[in-house]
Amino acid sequence: MDTNTELIKQVTERAQEWLSDAYDAETRAEVRHMLEAEDKTELIESFYRDLEFGTGGLRGIMGAGSNRMNIYTVGAATQGLANYLKDAFKDRKEISVVVGHDVRNNSRKFAEIVANVFSANGIKVYLFDNFRPTPELSFAIRELGCQSGVNITASHNPKEYNGYKAYWDDGAQIIAPHDINIINNVNRIKSVRDIKFEGNPELIQIIGKEIDEKFLAAIEGLSLDPEVIKRHADLKIVYTPIHGTGVEIVPESLRRYGFKNIIHVPEQDIPDGNFSTVDSPNPENASAMAMAIAKAREVEADLVVASDPDADRIGCVIRDNNGEYQLINGNQIVMILLNYIMLRNRELGRLKGNEYVVKTIVTTETIKAIADNNDIRMYDCYTGFKWIASVIRENEGKARYLGGGEESYGFLAEDFCRDKDSVSAISLMAEICAWAKDRGMDFNQMLQEIYLKNGYSHEEGVSVVRPGKTGAEEIVAMMKGFRANPPKELGGSPVITVKDYSTLECRDTATGDVTLMDFPTTSNVLQFFTADGTKISVRPSGTEPKIKFYIEVHDKMADMADYDRCNRDAAAKIAAIKKELGI
């Protein structure tokens, strides 16, 4: 029997199990349609494996099947999590959780399934009355003293997807040891009949405006210069939620900060799980910002900001030296926000010597220069906001968190929430625009000033996609090749340091000396540092069939007019490095 015939036989057997009366009529009809179809592609994709509950939860295409997001895969994940919570907090009289969701198709339905399963297991549930930003769920877990939380969201993925994010009692996404323990509990759910779907309404409490109010008040307290906003309250700010959860709360936060001229993109103010005006609802892509940029040109806006569908990531557009609206990258967003927070804390006399900031290892090293210039400690951590939250947790009560972020357009200005937050980031970005204007500068000039004082950097990310089984093998081979034969030179500068996070070894290439890095666990990441400050990071994606390269080059600006030259030189250098790496 050939491999394909054997695979079809296996998925057919699995699919037929879904025709039992344990599944609803709609699901059975969808499965029957796949079984009867001549083309077996959809059947294979839906049943060739179980949708894996990973360290961040679930994410997948919606539909019937074991490899799809549906009420049964969501129910199994929740039953496994409920079982673990009852074990981990067995000494508590009451275990409670918060459940939220975004605007995606089926998100409310899945959130209600989650609430029912938790309550059927005797767990108290605080269920949001409607869609809310992901960071507000994190805030609510802490505010209500809950032990866990679940958000139904697929972030900025295409419309076909949905997801399930699990949180712990500190409001952060789950890390060791709870991540593995929860995965093990979820994997023990072998039958749909193991899932308690019949909810207990007495244990489900609807929450909403009262949490909004507390969340917004806390964010308003982050403002570092209310007076400068009063002087520039009419700043023209274009904002788009890209059909997502930020539609009401972000403009309200901007108003509470004192901004009076918030300009909407009406077509994208409509919550819409199909994200009908964009190909992809990802604010880091210029195409997703096109309508907002068109509106900015129309009104001559000072700033353009956006949030992704679950309002945890921020997109930002400013005018360049030629007056054209240009997207700034995630590194620049984090750098601008941290620079302002550090400077203003210094100006306000709030620095006591125990402050710190956090970035991920693939985020720009210019942040380290800014922190050093302000005598503020900087922590490096792995990619993902759960690791930034872990640093905050470790420093709780010992040091003061000023902010942290990652190059993938995520920033967190506060510690009352433990996941990236576009609501506070957008509010502060608007304040920074007003602050720059008060100093006689536009946003672009302020960005150039940061580079002039702290050194210029330019970053570019490259994702090399290698789908399928052979692609996965190729990615493994690429990482082995880089470990066995690391580059000796990049962009005309010798490689002087190699960091391998799979062994936590940092090697000096000149002396061969190896030191161990202090990280909580290992990770399949390689970094190469050159004598002229170039940094190359390489890591396979944990969720997609791709290997990611993060290229960062550095330079010195002689003066503000030197910015364009630095940009040109950096682009040429990055192009050369990509050629050397074969990407």
Q: CB 240: neighbour CB atoms within 10 A?
A: 30
Exposed/middle/buried for residue 26 (C-beta within 10 Å: 0-12, 13-18, 19+): exposed
Q: How far apart are CA 472 and CA 480, in angstroms?
A: 13
Which of 59, 148, 125, 52 has the alpha carbon at shortest distance from 418?
148
463 is catalytic: no
The helix (H) or strand (E) run that includes residue 185 is helix 178-187
Let me know: does 280 contact 292? Beta carbons within 8 Å. no
Strands across the sheet containing 303-307:
262-264, 237-240, 303-307, 314-319, 325-327
Q: How far apart are CA 136 and CA 142, in angstroms?
A: 10
Structure tokens at 494: 């010798």
Structure tokens at 4: 């394909």
Q: Which residues contact 239 (CB under 8 A, 6 or more apart)?
A: 246, 250, 251, 254, 262, 263, 264, 265, 292, 304, 305, 306, 426
3-class SS of residue 574: helix
From the list 155, 307, 523, 537, the catalytic residue is 155
- Would you name the residues annotated as active-site residues? 155
